[in-house]
């Protein structure tokens, strides 16, 4: 959490009011060794708040607020050594973790344990970070020791699973948990559920399902096990997972959460009639469960049955409005539920190309938590109708309360201009916003992409590099810069490095897969290009990807398949500029 200077002062002062006298010496030489100081369990040490302590604490919090988490963590760690206060070591640990400084986190965690050896959270954090740094010695043994001594084995297993889940290397976390859950507790369903979750996180779905099935055999009535058998099984053998789940529900018809999970999976598999059958049964059993009205409307929406969905949403809104009138508005979530229903009505109206109705529904949203986003969406739809004047007025009427909201308004207005072909106006909006909010990567990113449209590649490159500096985990920034180099057939070595890093951050992102495929095409690795582009097209069968994939297929002399891919892309987006240019270069036409 980030504090202002005044908030930090208030927090520190509040803590210090609980520190009892007498004060201990504040110098390294005068301070007693830790083992000689009596620290009562649950009580921080006696220490006097001095100007130096206050200054260093505030300096650390201001550094954290500015994004310098390493300096903030180190300052608090040093301060914890001078004051012997475990809370400061804990705070240093938290900041180091946020900053992905695992060595700093380990140092802080060890200091935290030293100052609070009886704090299980401190011990667990120290062991987990040590393991993440490659030092697993003792972690599995320590976790087993806690489980063995705990009177509540299931709770202890759950705690061990949480500790292991904090490790960055999920495969290593699974190994540690595997070692920690020794034979005496392997007969407990909780142990196999923990291993199922760890296996899934480690990218081992088959073992995850197997562990969940074992837990279910050990306890055939376990809803937790049934949920995991469905969740993990549907990715491996959907028919079998659904069959097992239906059998469990037949014996446990009140297993509401499991039934809702099954409905979601059936919808994802386009089995909406089966999903609706389950919902009808649930509503018969619990007619007072009005949330099922909304769920049924969602299923009908996904099935394309828009009239049924609208009717159900109308009933749902009436029910929630009655709830809001019958009870104190603040005591219910009726307003938020009504907003959800209206947003679904907006989606239906857009699907039916009824923009007036969509705008009307957005205007009826009263929930203050989504009103801002609703008006942004309203402006976008007004612009889509061609009413730019009203769209600008809608945005101008907003009163953004935060820097983020100010950025969203600017980005939305620029997007409206760009979509209407007024690129220069969009650039002007974002250039002004960039001057007013110079450290906002989202603004710089969109402005950079506009520069590409204008052919201003130097400006694009400068801005995108700055985005990467501000947001080093922004995969889209690496991808955009790398793709632009590849598309222009320049700086190909740098393009490769940028795209490799983007893939490390988001290995399954279809846009990045497309970019890497296009880079490989530029360096004449046609087989490699084909692999990446086919993977991208399976995830994102868009006209842009079709243009690239078709070109690689054409170069590989697979002309019939290339025409097929191009034709599919053309049917989806007959005005796509990239595809049209590609078709023209190869003399192919579908008109």
Q: Is residue 588 part of a domain?
A: no
- What does the chain come to in residues? 591
Q: Provide the Cα torsion 434, 436, 438, 444; round to 10°.
A: -20
**Of the residues 257, 289, 321, which one is the last residue of a structural domain?**
289
pLDDT at 5: 29
Say if 6 falls within a structural domain: yes
Provide the number of structural domains found in the chain.
2
Q: Is there a single domain that holds both residue 120 and residue 76?
A: yes
Q: Are residues 109 and 234 in the same domain?
A: no
Whether residues 224 and 165 fall in one domain: yes
Element (H, E) at 305: none
Q: Which helix (H) or strand (E) holds 532?
A: helix 526-539
Res 136: pLDDT: 63
Dihedral sign, Cα of residue 569, residue 571, residue 577, residue 580: positive
Q: Are residues 114 and 18 in the same domain?
A: yes
Q: Does residue 94 lie in a domain region?
A: yes
Instruction: Report pTM.
Output: 0.71
User: Which CATH number belongs to the domain containing residue 83 in this structure?
Assistant: 1.25.40
Mean pLDDT, to the nearest integer, of 306-324? Answer: 93
Report the CATH number that the domain containing residue 157 is assigned in CATH. Answer: 1.25.40.10
* 97 lies in the same domain as 162: no
pLDDT of residue 448: 97
Residue 364 has pLDDT above 50, yes or no: yes
pLDDT per position as a tens digit, 389-428: 999 999 999 999 999 999 999 999 999 999 999 999 999 9
Say if 210 falls within a structural domain: yes
Mean pLDDT of 34-43: 39
pLDDT of residue 423: 96
Average pLDDT score over the chain: 88
Last residue of a domain, one of 289, 309, 343: 289
* 190 plus 80 within the same structural domain: no
Q: Which phi and psi (to 5°) does residue 289 adopt?
A: -85, 85
pLDDT in tens, 208-265: 999 999 999 999 999 999 999 999 999 999 999 999 999 999 999 999 999 999 999 9
Domain presence at residue 93: yes
Residue 24 pLDDT:
30
Domain span holding position 126 = 1-135
**282 and 156, same structural domain?**
yes
| Weakest mean pLDDT among 68-82, 122-136, 542-556 | 122-136
Do 89 and 158 lie in one domain? The reply is no
Which of the four pLDDT bands, split at 50, 70 and 90, describes residue 43?
low
282 and 167 co-located in one domain? yes
Mean pLDDT of 472-485: 96
Higher pLDDT, 61 or 311: 311
Residue at 407 is within a domain:
no
Which of 481, 472, 483 is CA-nearest to residue 516? 483
- Boundary-marking domain end, from 107, 135, 163: 135
Tell me the average pLDDT across 524-547: 96
Q: Are residues 73 and 112 in the same domain?
A: yes
Residue 55 has pLDDT above 90, yes or no: no
Could you tell me the pLDDT band of residue 134, with boundaries at 50, 70 and 90? low
Answer yes or no: is 244 within a domain: yes
220 vs 454: CA distance, rounded Å: 64
What span, in angstroms and rounded, lies between the C-alpha atoms of 490 and 252?
63
- Whether residue 131 is found in the same domain as residue 153: no
How much is the pLDDT for 101? Answer: 87
Q: How far apart are CA 235 and CA 245, in angstroms?
A: 14
What pLDDT score was predicted for residue 40? 39
163 and 272 housed in the same domain: yes
Binning pLDDT at 50, 70 and 90, where does residue 11 land? very low
On the 0-12 / 13-18 / 19+ scale of CB atoms within 10 A, 41 is exposed
DSSP 332: S
């Amino acid at each position: 959490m980030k504090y202002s200077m005044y908030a930090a002062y208030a927090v520190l002062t509040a803590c210090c009011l609980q520190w009892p006298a007498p004060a201990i010496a504040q110098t390294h030489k005068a301070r007693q060794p830790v083992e000689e100081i009596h620290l009562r369990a649950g009580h921080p040490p006696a220490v006097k708040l001095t100007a130096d302590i206050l200054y260093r604490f505030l300096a650390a919090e201001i550094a954290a607020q500015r994004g310098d988490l390493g300096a903030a963590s180190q300052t608090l760690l040093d301060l914890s050594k001078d004051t012997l206060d475990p809370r400061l070591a804990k705070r240093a640990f938290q900041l180091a973790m946020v900053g992905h400084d695992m060595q700093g986190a380990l140092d802080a965690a060890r200091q935290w344990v030293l100052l609070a050896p009886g704090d299980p959270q401190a011990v667990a954090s120290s062991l987990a970070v040590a393991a993440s740094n490659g030092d697993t010695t003792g972690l599995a043994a320590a976790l087993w020791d806690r489980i063995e001594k705990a009177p509540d084995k299931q709770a202890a297993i759950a705690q061990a699973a949480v500790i292991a889940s904090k490790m960055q290397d999920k495969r290593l976390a699974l190994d540690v948990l595997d070692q920690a859950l020794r034979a005496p507790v392997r007969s407990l369903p909780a142990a196999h559920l923990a291993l199922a979750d760890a296996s899934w996180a480690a990218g081992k779905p088959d073992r995850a399902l197997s562990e969940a099935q074992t837990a279910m055999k050990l306890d055939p009535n376990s809803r937790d096990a049934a949920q995991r058998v469905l969740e993990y099984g549907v990715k491996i053998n959907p028919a079998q997972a659904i069959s097992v789940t239906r059998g469990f529900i037949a014996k446990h018809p009140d297993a509401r959460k499991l039934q809702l999970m099954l409905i979601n999976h059936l919808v994802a598999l386009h089995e909406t009639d089966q999903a609706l059958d389950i919902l009808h049964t649930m509503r018969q059993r619990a007619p007072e469960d009005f949330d099922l009205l909304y769920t049924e409307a969602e299923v009908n929406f996904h099935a394309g049955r828009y009239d049924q969905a609208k009717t159900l949403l109308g009933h749902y809104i009436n029910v929630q409005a009655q709830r809001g009138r019958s009870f104190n508005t603040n005591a219910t979530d009726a307003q938020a539920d009504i907003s959800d229903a209206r947003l679904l009505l907006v989606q239906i109206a857009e699907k039916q190309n009824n923009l007036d109705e969509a705008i009307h529904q957005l205007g009826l949203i009263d929930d203050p938590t989504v009103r801002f986003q609703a008006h942004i969406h309203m402006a976008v739809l007004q612009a889509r109708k061609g009413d730019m004047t009203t769209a600008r007025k809608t945005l101008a009427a907003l009163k953004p309360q935060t820097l983020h909201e100010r950025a969203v308004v600017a980005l939305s207005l620029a997007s409206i201009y760009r979509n209407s072909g007024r690129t220069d106006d969009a650039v002007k909006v974002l250039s002004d916003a960039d001057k007013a909010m110079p450290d906002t990567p989202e603004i710089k990113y969109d402005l950079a992409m506009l520069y590409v449209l204008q052919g201003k590649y130097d400006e694009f490159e400068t801005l995108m590099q700055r985005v990467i500096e501000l947001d080093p985990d922004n995969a889209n920034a690496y991808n955009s810069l790398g793709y632009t180099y590849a598309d222009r057939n320049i700086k190909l070595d740098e393009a490769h490095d940028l795209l490799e890093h983007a893939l490390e951050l988001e290995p399954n992102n279809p846009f990045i897969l497309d970019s890497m495929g296009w880079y490989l095409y530029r360096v004449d690795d046609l087989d490699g290009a084909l692999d990446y582009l086919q993977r991208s097209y399976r995830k994102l069968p868009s006209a842009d990807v079709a243009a690239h994939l078709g070109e690689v297929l054409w170069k590989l002399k697979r002309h019939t398949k290339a025409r097929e891919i191009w034709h599919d892309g053309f049917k989806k987006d007959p005005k796509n500029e990239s595809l049209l240019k590609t078709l023209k270069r190869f003399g192919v036409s579908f008109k």
